[in-house]
Amino acid sequence: MSSNVTISYANTEHVKHAERICTLIYESALQRGTGIARRSPAYIKAKIEGGKAVVALDGDKLVGFSYIECWGHGDFVATSGLIVDPDYRHQGLARRIKQKTFELARERFPYAKIFSITTSLPVMKLNTDLGYKPVTFEQLTDDDEFWQGCQGCVNYDVLTRNNRLRCLCTAMLFDPQTAPKKSSVIGRILSPFKK
């Protein structure tokens, strides 16, 4: 199924999928019982219109999504909202979406540290393959607006009780200053897709 899926940077023609994206995010959070922060269609539309999102499409059907967000005056970029339609899971699609989102972050913000917070073991593995390292929350942005975005997560009380120093999520960081050469990291990720 995923061989017919195209993954690309989102543009204004993809705004029509905002409701579907929100539904997928919500359903995934319910299924996992852990934190995926809810997002509004307006928020998703802003990411798409701002050139900060990636879509996966099977024809005209949205089957995956992810986006980036800039924090700390461009010092940090978060990759977030990685979601795959349940009918398209376990086919390597999340890996392809994550790779495209990482490429978008590196293109738009080449000197920024890229971070991700997640409770998902598969996402942690994808991040590790891209060169992310586990870090403490203190090493992430101190931008209040970022942390307010966690309010939609079921674990928000854990984060606030611990003064934003700990939560159930794992924080991971890619630092372009200490990362291995680009070709070695991307080559490892793309090797399963080379023909």
Q: For residue range 30-50, what is the model confidence (pLDDT) as tens digits?
A: 776 655 667 889 999 999 999
User: Given this model, what pLDDT does residue 194 score?
Assistant: 45
User: Given this model, what pLDDT does residue 113 score?
Assistant: 96
User: Given this model, what pLDDT does residue 69 score?
Assistant: 92
User: Given this model, what pLDDT does residue 35 score?
Assistant: 55
Q: List the beta bridge partners of residue 83.
A: 65
Question: HSE (CB half, 13 Å, CA atoms) of 127?
Answer: 25
CA distance 125 to 137: 19
| Ranges of the chain with pLDDT below 70 | 1-3, 32-37, 181-195
User: Given this model, what pLDDT does residue 195 score?
Assistant: 40
Q: What SS3 class is residue 13?
A: helix
User: Given this model, what pLDDT does residue 32 score?
Assistant: 67
The burial class, CB within 10 Å (0-12 / 13-18 / 19+), for 91 is middle
Contacts of 180 (CB under 8 A, 6+ apart): 131
Residue found by looking up tokens 């809810």 in the block: 38
Measured between its terminal Cα atoms, the distance across the chain in Å is 17
pTM, full prediction: 0.81
